[in-house]
Amino acid sequence: KRAFTCDAARVVVATVAFGMGIDKPDIRLVCHAGMPSSVEAYYQQTGRAGRDGLPARCVLFSAGDDMVKRNFMMQKDHLLSQPGGDKRRENAHDMLKKMHGYTQSQLCRRKILLGYFNENLVNPCEGCDNCDEKLASPNAGPLETDEFDGDARLFLKAVLGMGESYGASKVAAALR
């Protein structure tokens, strides 16, 4: 953690818990290796990028089996077996469906996020994959790793090379 906050490490593969403790304003890229459990969680996590006001990017790798994985993890959650667990499970599943809807939408992603929190975006953002013509083009192909430098490029190449089907810890282990 110290190496990252002091700029000695340029890339960190981390858990959500690690990311919560980071207060570094110049993060340029937040990359999710799988769908978060809710829109709220995604919004909070992507909010780590660009806190200094400069451009930053968030990339979400989402696969068709993300819902299955998240539902499986939800079934293993011991809190859901406690009194009131049925209601918590229902709420968690509803939040997960909303997050899945976000990943599948073809609307402006910024508009969706702001609307979720009752804010309004009048014009499309022109920065998300659905608004940016280059990214939204059916011929755009996969994410280009040459947009990134050094360690970030290496990480993204590993994610893409592993078929976008492994979590951050497996990707980090492969890079070691």
Catalogue all structural domains in the chain, each as residue range(s) with its CATH number. Answer: 2-104+142-175 (3.40.50.300)
Structure tokens, 57: 């990017």
Convert 106-145 to b/e letters by CB count within 10 Å (16 or more is b): eebbbbbbeebeeeeeeeeeeebebbeeeeeeeeeeebeb
Q: What is the amino acid identity at position 161?
A: G
Has this prediction a pTM greater than 0.75? no
Task: Pick the more confident residue, 24 or 141.
Answer: 24
The per-residue pLDDT for range 31-70, each reduced to its tens digit, is: 888 899 999 999 988 988 899 999 888 999 888 788 888 8
Of 134 and 31, the one with more pLDDT = 31
